[in-house]
Amino acid sequence: MRLLSFGHGYSARALARQLLPAGWEITGTTRRAEKAEEIRSEGVTPLLWPGTDPAPEIVRATHILVSAAPDEAGDPVLGACRDALSSAAPHLDWVGYLSTTGVYGDHGGGWIDEETPLAPSTRRGEQRVAAEAAWRALAAESGLPLHIFRLAGIYGPGRGPFAKVRNGTARRIVKPGQVFSRIHVDDIARVLVASIARPRPGAVYNVCDDDPAPPQDVIAHAADLLGVARPPEVAFEDAEMSPMARSFYAESKRVRNDRLHAELGVTLEYPTYRDGLAALLRAETGAHPPTEG
């Protein structure tokens, strides 16, 4: 079993950690030579791309994961490798495209699922919708066994709130009615492994946990776990944020994940942010968080 991972980043590396012990061969692309050495140290063969032709690896692969994000020029993998992917389609067992729940846009805190019409409210969301459509078109033309995974906000080792809470830079930004869905990176890998085991070309899955929550609640819980004072609340209108950070608050929705449970039989290891944060704290310090009342 050979996986070619385009854009071998945070989520793809979590998947590799689950596949390598099972004997998989994995090649991961990266733009930077220094990151290539990190990838190699994890047991993955690095491929500098752009720069090196990935077509021979596409031919060798049985599975392909695409994490590379689109830009104004479109999807970079399709832009460079469309013909190679089309030729390899009959020999591929599975192709996974990592998209985002940003394709759904704003729903005022309401529930959405995979059948909800796509109505992005940010430029990044529009680019993802276009990329999904381009991948679907290639699949329709070539028989590429495409699976689309729409990821919620990702957290995990190195991407938790504890460092900011500890150093006093965390803020509880409050926008009434704002709610986000999120997912631990190891649960993303768990979903991908389940899909590889039960491929259904054409499938779309929302990948999120079971407990959408306001962002300020997550920060407050992290402070409680650390036994420190909760950061003060800051009104959204008064908060200083980068344009990208502010854009995340343009959308509020609760994302349903029923399909990944029903079709893939996935049981999330971290079904709520409380489970995920407790595990991150244990991994960081070896401490067991206090139990709640």
Per-residue pLDDT of the chain (293 residues; tens, 9 = 90+): 999 999 999 999 999 999 999 999 999 999 999 999 999 999 999 999 999 999 999 999 999 999 999 999 999 999 999 999 999 999 999 999 999 999 999 999 999 999 999 999 999 999 999 999 999 999 999 999 999 999 999 999 999 899 999 999 899 999 999 999 999 999 999 999 999 999 999 999 999 999 999 999 999 999 999 999 999 999 999 998 888 888 889 899 999 999 999 999 999 999 999 999 999 999 988 755 444 43
Output the CA–CA distances (angstroms, integers) from residue 26 to 57, 176, 178, 256, in the order listed.
10, 45, 39, 31
* Residue 287: predicted pLDDT: 54
Residue 129 lies in a domain: yes
Q: What is the pLDDT of residue 246?
A: 85
Tell me the residue type at 196.
Answer: I
What is the count of structural domains for the chain? Answer: 1
Q: Has residue 282 been placed in a domain?
A: no
Is 171 domain-assigned? no
Q: Is there a domain that residue 223 lies in?
A: no
Residue whose entry in the numeric block shows the structure tokens 């998209």: 99
Predicted pLDDT of residue 23: 97
In a domain, 126, yes or no: yes
Q: Is residue 16 part of a domain?
A: yes
Residues 217/271, Cβ–Cβ less than 8 Å: no
* Residue 114 placed within a domain: yes
246, part of any domain:
no
Q: What's 81's domain CATH number?
A: 3.40.50.720
Q: pTM higher than 0.85, yes or no?
A: yes
Question: Nearest-CA neighbor of 159 among 35, 39, 279, 17?
Answer: 279
Residue 261 belongs to domain spanning? 2-155+182-210+254-271
